[in-house]
């Protein structure tokens, strides 16, 4: 991590006990200056990139048009997530929010390992923000090294902090779009449905058609050299 005025938080911010966490802007308001929420999508699939997004709100309050729409992407149906993504893009066009997106392709994942590739995607996402944040709130308990600002990890952050939840939606939607586009170029693997995850039909397609350059050859069962179907 490059130097910054605030030290990296050594301990992750733990969620409150009891009941389901609610999305709020409390963590962002605790810090003076621009705060970015960071999350990723696609660590587990056998094919496709890992995608990260960073979201910041310059005005220090949730834009009215986004209230009630943004939540942890895992809590949202595909329809609600798509509507939230469209609203976030519109908010970015108005300047109400800033967002950056970074990705690592399968070859980078194989070269660096999925954790380092995820961190690299996060660094790229933060670097693509149009303004440098003073702090990044990162979902999970591991702080990515090399970000252009100090880091605070937030366990369950995509279900708690607005900016992290927004980043989770953007990362998920952009990755799904990438997989649908790849499915057009590489038919037969069902990526438009399985998004690269190792479903039975996907494994059967790999056995029949072979692996593509978008498959993660370091992931089992591909790394084992054969598929046990």
This prediction's pTM: 0.90
- The pLDDT score that the predictor gives to residue 22 is 80
| pLDDT at 92 exceeding the cut of 50 | yes
CATH number at residue 39: 3.30.420.10
Burial of 124 per CB tally in 10 Å (0-12, 13-18, 19+): middle
- How far is Cα 167 from Cα 73, in angstroms, rounded to an integer? 9
Residue 223 located in a structural domain: no
pLDDT of 57-72, one tens digit each? Answer: 999 899 999 999 999 9
Q: Who wins on pLDDT, 5 or 114?
A: 114
What tokens appear for 97 in the block? 């929010």
Give the pLDDT mean for 192-221.
97
Q: Who wins on pLDDT, 32 or 16?
A: 32
Q: Who wins on pLDDT, 3 or 75?
A: 75
CA–CA distances in Å: residue 27 to residues 14, 61, 118? 12, 11, 23
Residue 130 located in a structural domain: yes
Residue 205 located in a structural domain: no
Mean of the per-residue pLDDT values of the chain: 91
For the chain, the domain total comes to 1
């Amino acid at each position: 991590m490059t130097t910054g005025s605030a030290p990296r938080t050594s301990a992750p911010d733990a969620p409150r006990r009891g009941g389901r966490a609610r999305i709020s802007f409390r963590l962002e308001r605790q810090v003076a200056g621009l705060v970015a929420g960071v999350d990723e999508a696609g660590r587990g699939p056998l094919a496709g990139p890992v995608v990260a997004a960073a979201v910041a709100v310059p005005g220090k309050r949730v834009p009215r048009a986004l209230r009630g729409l943004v939540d942890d992407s895992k809590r949202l149906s595909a329809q609600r997530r798509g509507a939230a993504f469209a609203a976030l893009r519109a908010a970015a066009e108005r300047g109400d929010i800033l967002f950056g997106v970074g990705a690592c392709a399968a070859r980078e994942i194989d070269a660096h390992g999925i954790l380092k590739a995820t961190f690299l995607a996060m660094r790229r996402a933060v670097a693509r923000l149009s303004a440098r944040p003073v702090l990044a709130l990162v979902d999970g308990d591991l702080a990515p090294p090399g970000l252009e600002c100090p880091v605070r990890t937030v366990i369950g952050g995509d279900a708690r902090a607005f900016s992290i939840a927004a980043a989770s939606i953007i990362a998920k939607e952009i990755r799904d779009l990438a997989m649908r586009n790849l499915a057009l170029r590489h038919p037969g693997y069902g990526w438009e449905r399985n998004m690269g995850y190792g479903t039975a039909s996907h494994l059967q397609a790999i056995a029949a058609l072979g692996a593509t350059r978008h498959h993660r050859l370091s992931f089992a069962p591909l790394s084992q050299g054969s598929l046990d179907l």
